[in-house]
Structure 1
């Protein structure tokens, strides 16, 4: 026990990075998970990581507080970039809802407490179940574990002056919207054709109340197209997981100055 005391500052730095990562990371950050469970899981993971990476002895001085801030920011940054990429599913659901006419019927996401589109919440729930099925949450934990290969525990600063970090985050944001558009394109494209057909019907049969007929038709077509392309959506979500891990790795390389 006495041998552990000189290494306790290094363990505390690891604990700060892991818990900060849990604050932002998908699945682990949800408020439906008790805070005591998050802290307990972070503590156990920190012990495993501490014994695995062989952290150096670090003295508690003025530089140590800078290390604590740096560890918290590294964990938040990595968790944020993972949450950013996973938000593509919610954005795709928002695109679909807007075309279906469900945009006015947002629901409260019990996981985050924020308003969420109906289809976005539906697709996001499927994505989370798929993430757990393929052990993607283990890969996310691996991401924070291997972050010490890129950002050492004794690195004091984060190179915010490096424009590549800002450019990388902007490109990741752009990639997220592209993936969201690709996911929503089958349904949105089909509904666009339905809108064109309804417009033609409205011009040729003016007696028909197109607003009464159009909404149920668009909803029915949307669900039929979703059922038809669900397998493709699962493949896109699988690729999204790989993109998320690659994005996390790229950000860690930039923060570490690689």
Structure 2
């Protein structure tokens, strides 16, 4: 029992990194997940990790405070990068909503508590179900566990000023918008053709009020296009999950000084 007391400071560092992961990591950080569940899961997951690791004996002093801050930043940064990539789904939904005429009717996302586009929320629900179906949440938990192979618990600093870290963040943001465009382009392209057709009809039949006809027509065409493009969307979602896990691994490698 006395030996475990010597390892208690190191266990607190493990608990800090795990709980920081759960603050920003997709699927685990949502508001509709009870706080008691997140705290309990973080504690028991950190306990299992601590029992399977060779924890160092640390003293609680000034350098220990730096280690706590480092562990907190590791969890927050890696979880935030994962969330940034999945935000491409919400951005794609915003593009589609603007073309459909749904941009004025945003809804409150119960997971984050902020306004989000309707179609983006619809896609995001499918993406989360697919993430659970392919055991993506297990892979994210594996990423938390194996992060200690890349970023040591005794590492006192993070190379945040390294240009490779900034380059990775910029590439992640670029890929986020690129994937959002790939997700939205089938529906947005079809709606553009509908707008062109409505313009031709308005010139050919001036008596027809295209504003009255156009809105329900665009909504109907959008839903039909979404139904036929769900297979492509699911494939892109799967690629998005692979990119998320790869980016998390790359960032941990850079933060570990690799």
Query: Match for residue 127 of structure 1?
Result: 127
After TM superposition, the structure 1 = structure 2 runs for residues 153-168 of structure 1, keeping only pairs within 5 Å, are 153-168=153-168
Whole-Å Cα distance in 2 between the matches of residues 117 and 3 of structure 1? 53
Query: Match for residue 213 of structure 1?
Result: 213
1:214-243 Cα shifts (integer Å, max 9, x gaps): 011100110111000101111110111111
Query: Match for residue 27 of structure 1?
Result: 27
| Pairwise CA distance, 1:52 | 1.6
Query: Match for residue 141 of structure 2?
Result: 141
Q: Structure 1: which 5+ runs fail to align?
A: none
Query: Match for residue 43 of structure 2?
Result: 43
Whole-Å Cα distance in 2 between the matches of residues 200 and 58 of structure 1? 75
Q: Structure 2: which 5+ runs fail to align?
A: none
| Pairwise CA distance, 1:53 | 2.3
Whole-Å Cα distance in 2 between the matches of residues 182 and 21 of structure 1? 29
- Count of residues paired in the alignment: 258
Query: Match for residue 95 of structure 1?
Result: 95
Query: Match for residue 152 of structure 1?
Result: 152
Q: TM-score, normalised by structure 2?
A: 0.98
Query: Match for residue 185 of structure 1?
Result: 185
Greater Cα offset, 197-206 or 61-70: 197-206
RMSD: 0.7
| Pairwise CA distance, 1:61 | 1.2
Greater Cα offset, 98-107 or 1-10: 1-10
Q: Secondary structure at the match of 2:229?
A: helix
1:112-165 Cα shifts (integer Å, max 9, x gaps): 100010000001001111111111101111111111111100000011221111
| Pairwise CA distance, 1:257 | 0.9
After TM superposition, the structure 1 = structure 2 runs for residues 211-250 of structure 1, keeping only pairs within 5 Å, are 211-250=211-250
| Pairwise CA distance, 1:18 | 0.4
Say whether residues 1:256 and 2:224 are aligned partners: no
Moved over 4 A (4+): none
Whole-Å Cα distance in 1 between the matches of residues 3 and 180 of structure 2? 51
